[in-house]
Structure 1
Amino acid sequence: MKLLMIAGMGESVALARELSVIEGHEVICVTEGRAVARAEPPVKIYDGVFQTDADFARYIADERFDMVVDAAHPFEARFGTIARGLELPYLRVTREEWTPKQNEDWINVASMKEAVAAVPRAARVFLATGRGSVHAFKERADAYVMCRQLEQHERAFPLDNGAYVFGAGPFSVTAEMQTFQTLMVDFLILRNSGSVQGRSKVYAAGNLGITIIMIQKTDVGVPQFQTATILDVAKRVADCANH
């Protein structure tokens, strides 16, 4: 069975390893981020670039995959949407979203635009939403914006009032608390990915009384029968192979 895995969530590497050792399975990964590729899962990783949606659909057809397992980041749906439009067995990997703990002050929003609007004037904001989200603050010169980057680089920060913060995870709760205190963070903005490792920053913000602006995931329209938890994926793949 030739399996295409769309990688992106933190569990992708372990999942790729689990699927690759099933006898008779060949697993090839495509990824919408470099983190999975850096982790070197024990499978082949496609290192090309899909310029258009049609390029990706053509790749799936040309490689004659038997099934697609979509383990992309919960907020990434481009490749999965294309794959679902093809006549192939498809499975979207899911995990539970975070819920607020008693000491955590959450503001739930539906988009980055709403997150920016929820930030009061002159606040110090820590973004855990990626470099591209910094531009959402281009009209908010009053706010000081900090954006975490996992890899060191020399790119200029795109806003006059702010800076990149460099550091490679995983980050402990204690380390996140130290970072937030040093940077005098008032607000933390992040997406509700449900990642176990990623939640350390939420715990840290709660411990320090920092307000958390949580962008909630939107429904990408995947039917229930095409979803599986991380624990169930291997069984579902094996069931598909046996039919």
Structure 2
Amino acid sequence: MRILILGGTGEASALARGLAGTPGRDVTLSLAGRTASPKPEPVPTRTGGFGGPEGLARHLAREGIGLLVDATHPFAARMSRNAALAAAQAGVPILALRRPGWARQQGDDWTQVASMAEAAAALGPAPRRVFLTIGRQEVAAFAAAPQHDYVVRTIEPIGDALPVPRLTRIRARGPFDAGTEAAFLASAGIAVLVSKNSGGAATYGKVLAARRLSLPVVMVARPDKPAVPQVPDAEAALALILSGELPPRG
């Protein structure tokens, strides 16, 4: 059986590692291409888009894909919609790997918002030093609140043309543990964090660090995703696939 994993997450890589070399399965991992130097993977990879749901449906049919796994980022709403539509058009089973989101714990000071625009507004009128942990694609939304000093940490470089006047750029690749994050937040004089509710352990260190330092967090809620068969982690996805009990065709 040929399996296409839509990836870009740790769970996608973990599933690819689990499936690599298993008999009777030909696995390809598809990456969006936003990271110039992705980590090596144990299965063949492809990079770039498909041309919308129709293009992905044609790819599924042309390559004889027997299972489509949507293991994209929790905020990759468009890709998940395209995957669900393409699976339905091509009549291919689809399985979504969706990690649970974070829940507010005792000691957390969260303001929960539905969008980046709401996050910028939630920072308030008084100037603050803000740590943006949202990825480089979303930084421009904070041009609406130019009174703040922003610090953004990304894997890839950010262009100089962003309309955010006071922006400190840091390039680094995680994961970062809570101790490292707490030391950084304190040394950088951060007053508030802005984070996507990505879930998972890999980036939870910043949430733990904010709790330790009693720093407020503006937490952006996840977008809605299509209703397709889903599992919470790579282990569950691997067990289901190896059992041969595939979800219904899309």
TM-score by length of 1: 0.90
Q: Deviations over 1:46-93 (max 9, x none)?
A: 134435443333222221201101111111133332232231100001
- Structure with the larger RCO, 1 or 2 (CA within 8 Å, 6+ apart): 2
The DSSP-based 3-state class of the residue aligned with 1:202 is helix
The DSSP-based 3-state class of the residue aligned with 1:117 is helix
The DSSP-based 3-state class of the residue aligned with 1:210 is coil
* 1:130 to 2:135 alignment: yes
Q: State the aligned residue count.
A: 240
Match of 2:24 in 1: 24
Show the 5 A alignment for 1:32-181: 32=32, 34=34, 38-85=38-85, 86=88, 87-120=91-124, 121-151=126-156, 153=157, 155-156=159-160, 158=162, 159-181=164-186
* 1:207 to 2:199 alignment: no
The DSSP-based 3-state class of the residue aligned with 2:153 is strand
RMSD between aligned residues: 2.2
Distance in 2 (alpha carbons) for counterparts of 1:157 and 1:206:
34
Change over 3 Å in CA distance of 1:178–1:41 after alignment to 2? same
Q: Deviations over 1:118-150 (max 9, x none)?
A: 102201111111112111111212111111112
Shift of 1:182: 1.8
Match of 2:3 in 1: 3
Distance in 2 (alpha carbons) for counterparts of 1:228 and 1:149:
28
- Decide which moves more: 154-163 or 124-133: 154-163
TM-score by length of 2: 0.88
Shift of 1:98: 0.9
The DSSP-based 3-state class of the residue aligned with 1:40 is coil
Distance in 2 (alpha carbons) for counterparts of 1:22 and 1:101:
40
Shift of 1:41: 1.6
Q: Deviations over 1:207-234 (max 9, x none)?
A: 11110111111321324xx111222212
AA of the residue aligned to 1:189: V
Distance in 2 (alpha carbons) for counterparts of 1:92 and 1:132:
23
Distance in 2 (alpha carbons) for counterparts of 1:110 and 1:174:
29
Distance in 2 (alpha carbons) for counterparts of 1:136 and 1:113:
6
* 1:227 to 2:225 alignment: no
Match of 1:186 in 2: 191
> Are the equivalent residues in 2 in contact too, given 1:112–1:133 (CA < 8 A)?
yes
After superposing on structure 2, the runs of 4+ consecutive aligned residues of structure 1 that deviate more than 4 Å are: 33-37
Runs of 5+ consecutive residues of structure 1 not aligned to the other structure: none
Distance in 2 (alpha carbons) for counterparts of 1:36 and 1:232:
30
> Are the equivalent residues in 2 in contact too, given 1:71–1:93 (CA < 8 A)?
yes
Runs of 5+ consecutive residues of structure 2 not aligned to the other structure: none
AA of the residue aligned to 1:201: K
AA of the residue aligned to 2:45: I
> Are the equivalent residues in 1 in contact too, given 2:77–2:223 (CA < 8 A)?
no
> Are the equivalent residues in 1 in contact too, given 2:33–2:47 (CA < 8 A)?
no
What percentage of aligned pairs have identical amino acids? Answer: 30
Distance in 1 (alpha carbons) for counterparts of 2:83 and 2:165:
41
